[in-house]
Amino acid sequence: MGLLKEAHHFVANNSQFLDQSHHVHVPGQTGECYTIVYKVIFERRQGIDILRNSRENEAAYNSYARVDAPTCFPGTREQYIEDIIDWATPPSCHSSMFRMKGPAGVGKSAIAQTCAKRLDQVGQLGASFFFTTDRCSNHIRFFPTIAYQLSTKIPAYREILNHIIYSDRTLLENQLESQFVDLIWKPFQELAKAGKTLGTYAILIDGLDECADKRAQCEIVEIVARHLQDMPFRWAFFSRPEPHIETTFKLSNISSLCYSVFLPVSREADGEIKLYIRSGLQNILRYRNVEATGWPSDQELDALIDMTDGLFIYAATVVRFVGQTSGSHDPPELLKAILNSSSRDQYGPKLPMAELDAFYTLILQRIPRELLPDILTFFSLIVTPKHDATRSIAFVSNLLGISRIKMQTICNLLSAVLRLSNPKHFPSSTDPYSPNKSLLFQTLSPEGTDVLMRIISGREGTFCFYHKSFRDFLHDPSRSGQFCVMTQTMHETTFERVLRLHSHHARSYTIQNNRLIPLFTGTNSGKGLSWPIGIEVLDSYLELFVFMSLGAYLRKFAFGLEMLDINPHLLAELAEFNHRKQLLSRLFLLPQNLSWEVTAKRFSNNRMNVRGVALRWIPCVDLDMELFQTRIKRLEEVRVIQRYSPHSTTLEPPLFRSDSQGRLLSGLYIVGQGDASIFWYWYFDPELKFRREFETMDLHEGERVYREVEWVVMDRAPVEQGLRQNGGPKNEPWRLPRLWFRGFKRVFCILF
């Protein structure tokens, strides 16, 4: 009987098909054809699986993560939408690139979301990628994501792509240009040579300015422009007019190919905003099954439109604020509060964002006085200039040391600016970890602890801020006044609270044989938490991660700009900080004995645990040496760190070397006091332009590990060129160095 003769509807898991066609006879076919068919099926599963796992699965317009993404209300922004649909739909002869730019809050993402949905409905959408600072900001996943989405629309392309990736899986780790050429351009050139007729597809990219790497933002546009010819795609970009993006689109080889539209903050949108607000407020009443004839009145609506001043984000925030679901809030009263908060008389009509600032101020003014300190600390800890991420509610609650009920109350009070994700489906298994055993008594998986945070987030929910304008508001004292989180008073208040919480969690651990041992296990595993989960491995992980995060904040504070103006007596309290327990918590969660591929992909903080020694390397582009010198001096003055000169050492002498201008280039210190102290050594290499350091409890072991490390900078010329173009190391580079870390029978490639 022939192999799998007359078989159908079967699945072969983990199979390997071998070419043994001379033993196979299939009626009507040759054995060779038979074997090739099944080999292709096997490769298709493997190659596409690899690609699927490398994509950003929350970036597509219709991903579940974007279920609450803004869309255009029916009847609004119709002309812009029609223009984009017309541009994207054959036989339109417009340019193959489209760009919509505009300031934050004018509705670019809503237009992009609406266009993506409409194009998908008519079969014209090839792919979509919505960059967001909270979830989808990794440029390395951009082209693999586009390629995967295209493969679901074009079967012939999918076959070629599958074979390419199966043959060379490292393509997904290459530079952006190589990714694009290998995953997209070459396969479609092959289809064209084979005479395959393909339609034209639109590819929509929103929030380009929210991609984490500024150089990559420009490079993506440049790559697309270079390969537009003979490609069946039309690329649309939506972004704010950041200077570097503006410069890129103005390049002659790009501007001639691109159709650009500016979306302004304009009172010409008043009619559409009025329609949106009126319908939104009426829907609030329908949701509550309440009739209110004549609400809102024409006078109230006109006043709202005047306050909105052409900014759609303000209109959306108004509707969310009035629509608070708590039964204690009356919509007409909330609307009246908004109308009474107008800042026009106070600031004048021309102050940018004045009305939105007044509205954000109103939201914070309505918070009960007894909750305000907790909320401001909440903002101070999580609203940072560079990170606006989706966070676990339970994690942040424990980070603040507040109860579940209080945390949920805070989230409800901030519902106008905070997007909440309710508890949802989560993995039922804690594999590879035992659920009824402290994480500290288990071996850390090569995949780290991601599965545990996913379970916690799924069980208890997550949150993120609706719009970055609220973060900007909180960071600018001229806008937020008493609610600003960047004042010295706020820094000191937050510092004191974090130090107190860190000391609280430090008491949950003891040290045995240079290992961190939990004092509370079993049913008491969540004793140190303000919001325990009730499963030992989750509680132990949550407390350990909170403890480490609090320590990381204090460390960042000690070496940050905030430290320069802080009360010296307050800063001196860091000397009492348990640096040893903090180091052990970091060592447990740091990568250990991993291949460079895992390290480069999963750990972006340039740290590694080698035999109980914490190694770290910082490129010069991330380091202000003048400021670093000032920090060192200040910490020495308050005796948080003390110089240490052992009788013998294998570290290169002198331990405290200086350059010709008297700037310190290296140092060995004791950090902390007594049994809570650690050793810290750092060295700035003025030639290779990076700082390397280690922290350890055992100085001799730290010296041995440091001595076994070989640091080599690769691709240095592009780095230096990028630094010159950007004005020096304080600015972001156009390309970052690659370091090789050799030792311990492994080679680690660390990507900065």
Domain interval for residue 141: 47-264
* Residue 248, domain member (yes or no): yes
Does residue 346 carry a pLDDT above 90? no
Q: Cα 105 to chain center, whole Å?
A: 20
Residues 604-610: contacts with CB within 8 Å, 24+ apart? Answer: 606/750, 606/752, 608/741, 608/748, 610/705, 610/743, 610/744
Type of residue numbered 9? H
Q: Are residues 130 and 188 in the same domain?
A: yes
Q: What angle do CA 214, 217, 218 make, to 5 degrees?
A: 100
User: DSSP characters for 133-174?
Assistant: SSS---GGGHHHHHHHHHHHH-HHHHHHHHHHHHH-GGGGGS
Q: Are residues 620 and 608 in the same domain?
A: yes
* Residue 603, domain member (yes or no): yes
pLDDT digits (tens, 9 = 90+) for 254-299: 999 999 999 987 888 899 999 999 999 988 888 888 776 789 999 9
Q: Cα 96 to chain center, whole Å?
A: 30
Q: Are residues 386 and 422 in the same domain?
A: yes
Mean pLDDT calculated for residue range 678-689:
87
Mean pLDDT calculated for residue range 2-26:
47
Q: Are residues 234 and 184 in the same domain?
A: yes
* Residue 654, domain member (yes or no): no
Indicate the number of domains in the chain.
Answer: 4
Does residue 719 carry a pLDDT above 60? no
CB 748: neighbour CB atoms within 10 A?
23
pLDDT digits (tens, 9 = 90+) for 421-467: 777 666 678 889 999 999 999 998 877 788 899 899 888 988 888 77
Q: Are residues 455 and 517 in the same domain?
A: yes
Q: Are residues 468 and 535 in the same domain?
A: yes
Q: What confidence score (pLDDT) does residue 488 get? A: 86
What's the pLDDT band for 333 if we cut at 50, 70, 90? confident
**Residue that finishes a domain, picked among 244, 264, 284:** 264
Q: What confidence score (pLDDT) does residue 188 get? A: 95
* Residue 435, domain member (yes or no): no
Question: H helices of 645-714, where?
Answer: 699-708
Q: Single out the residue of 450, 423, 460 nearest to residue 534, CA to CA.
A: 460
Strands 418-421 and 462-465: antiparallel
Q: Single out the residue of 69, 89, 51 nearest to residue 236, CA to CA.
A: 89
**Residue that finishes a domain, picked among 249, 264, 279:** 264
Q: What confidence score (pLDDT) does residue 268 get? A: 86
Mean pLDDT calculated for residue range 611-635:
80
Q: What angle do CA 430, 432, 433 make, to 5 degrees?
A: 60
Pick the residue with more confidence: 323 or 399? 399
Retrieve residue 643's tokens: 């110089």
Through-space distance between the first and last CA atoms of the chain, rounded to whole angstroms: 58
Backbone dihedral angles phi then psi of residue 274, each to the nearest 5 degrees: -60, -45
Q: Are residues 416 and 468 in the same domain?
A: yes
* Residue 182, domain member (yes or no): yes
* Residue 750, domain member (yes or no): no
User: Strand, coil or helix: what is 597?
Assistant: helix
* Residue 240, domain member (yes or no): yes
Give the domain CATH number at 188.
Answer: 3.40.50.300
What's the pLDDT band for 9 if we cut at 50, 70, 90? low
Type of residue numbered 372? L
Q: Are residues 74 and 135 in the same domain?
A: yes
Mean model confidence pLDDT for the chain: 81
**Residue that finishes a domain, picked among 512, 532, 561:** 561
Mean pLDDT calculated for residue range 345-367:
67
Q: What confidence score (pLDDT) does residue 15 get? A: 47
Residue 91: cis peptide before it, omega within 30 degrees of 0: yes
What's the pLDDT band for 596 if we cut at 50, 70, 90? very low
Mean pLDDT calculated for residue range 472-480:
88
Q: What confidence score (pLDDT) does residue 359 get? A: 75
Q: Are residues 380 and 361 in the same domain?
A: no
Q: Are residues 451 and 326 in the same domain?
A: no
What's the pLDDT band for 242 if we cut at 50, 70, 90? confident
Whole-structure pTM value: 0.63
* Residue 454 · residue 427 · CB < 8 Å: yes
> What span, in angstroms and rounded, lies between the C-alpha atoms of 238 and 205?
6
Retrieve residue 167's tokens: 């043959």
Q: What confidence score (pLDDT) does residue 387 get? A: 43
Q: Are residues 474 and 550 in the same domain?
A: yes
Which of 242-251, 363-372, 527-536, 631-640 has the largest mean confidence? 527-536
* Residue 656, domain member (yes or no): no
Q: What confidence score (pLDDT) does residue 353 get? A: 59
Q: Where are the beta strands (DSSP E) in 324-380?
A: none
What's the pLDDT band for 341 if we cut at 50, 70, 90? low
Bridge partners of 101, per DSSP, are: 239, 262
Q: Are residues 398 and 541 in the same domain?
A: yes
Backbone dihedral angles phi then psi of residue 394, each to the nearest 5 degrees: -65, -40
> What span, in angstroms and rounded, lies between the C-alpha atoms of 499 and 401?
12
Q: What confidence score (pLDDT) does residue 604 get? A: 41
What's the pLDDT band for 26 if we cut at 50, 70, 90? very low
> What span, in angstroms and rounded, lies between the C-alpha atoms of 366 and 350?
26
Q: What confidence score (pLDDT) does residue 27 get? A: 40
Q: What confidence score (pLDDT) does residue 621 get? A: 55
